Amino acid sequence: MDQQEIQTQQKREVESRQESTIAARSFVPLTDIFEDDHALTIVMEMPGIQRDNVDVRVENNILTLEARLDYSKYQGLKPVYTEYNVGNYTRSFELSGKINQDAIRAELTDGVMTLTLPKAESAKPRRIPIS
């Protein structure tokens, strides 16, 4: 059993070349990426984000995720003590051409977004038999 203790990581703000027209701050979701024979999987933490407010798109081999926070839930709440800030999440990754872009799947559960990017047939590893 993994019994190491978990630490709180400060949220990283988005630093982009273009400035956003909206003054509010955006954050970079904590991301794990792993790969197996069939697919590349991207797992991003976006606590508080609902399915309807996430936009995932691929353009020129760039996968971009944008998630908007529904802050209406904070209406009527007066902060007395805070340790973290909230905001929209955004992050993008450059895909290699080996991804079957039409077959990308996205699933959001309990604030964790899982993107499954299946590899194109030609990119799957082949075991070479030794004759």
Partner 1 sequence: MAAYSDPFSALLALQRALESRIASGWLARSPSGMGGYPPINIFQQGDNFVAIIELPGMERNNLHIEAKENTIRIHGNKSQNYPKEVSVHRRERGFGAFDRTITLPIPVDANAIRAEYNDGILALFLPPAESAKPRSIEIS
Q: Binding partner 1 by CB under 8 A: which of 63, 65, 88, 115?
A: 88
Q: Do 101 and 65 touch, CB atoms closer than 8 A?
A: no
Cβ proximity to partner 1, 61 vs 74, nearer residue? 74
* 30: DSSP letter: P
Task: Name which of 95, 91, 33 is nearest 65 in CA terms.
Answer: 91
Torsion sign (Cα): 51, 55, 57, 63: negative
Cβ proximity to partner 1, 72 vs 122, nearer residue? 72
Touching partner 1, residues 21-60 (CB under 8 A): 22-25, 30-36, 40-41, 43, 45-50
Considering the rule CB under 8 A, would residue 81 count as an interface residue with partner 1? yes
Q: Which residues pair with 45 in a beta bridge?
A: 112
CB of 18: closest distance to partner 1 in angstroms?
18
CB of 46: closest distance to partner 1 in angstroms?
7
Considering the rule CB under 8 A, would residue 109 count as an interface residue with partner 1? yes
Torsion sign (Cα): 92, 93, 94, 96: negative
* 37: DSSP letter: S
Cβ proximity to partner 1, 37 vs 131, nearer residue? 37
Place of tokens 């993008």: 92
Binding footprint of partner 1 on the chain (CB under 8 A): 2-9, 22-25, 30-36, 40-41, 43, 45-50, 69, 71-72, 74-88, 109-112
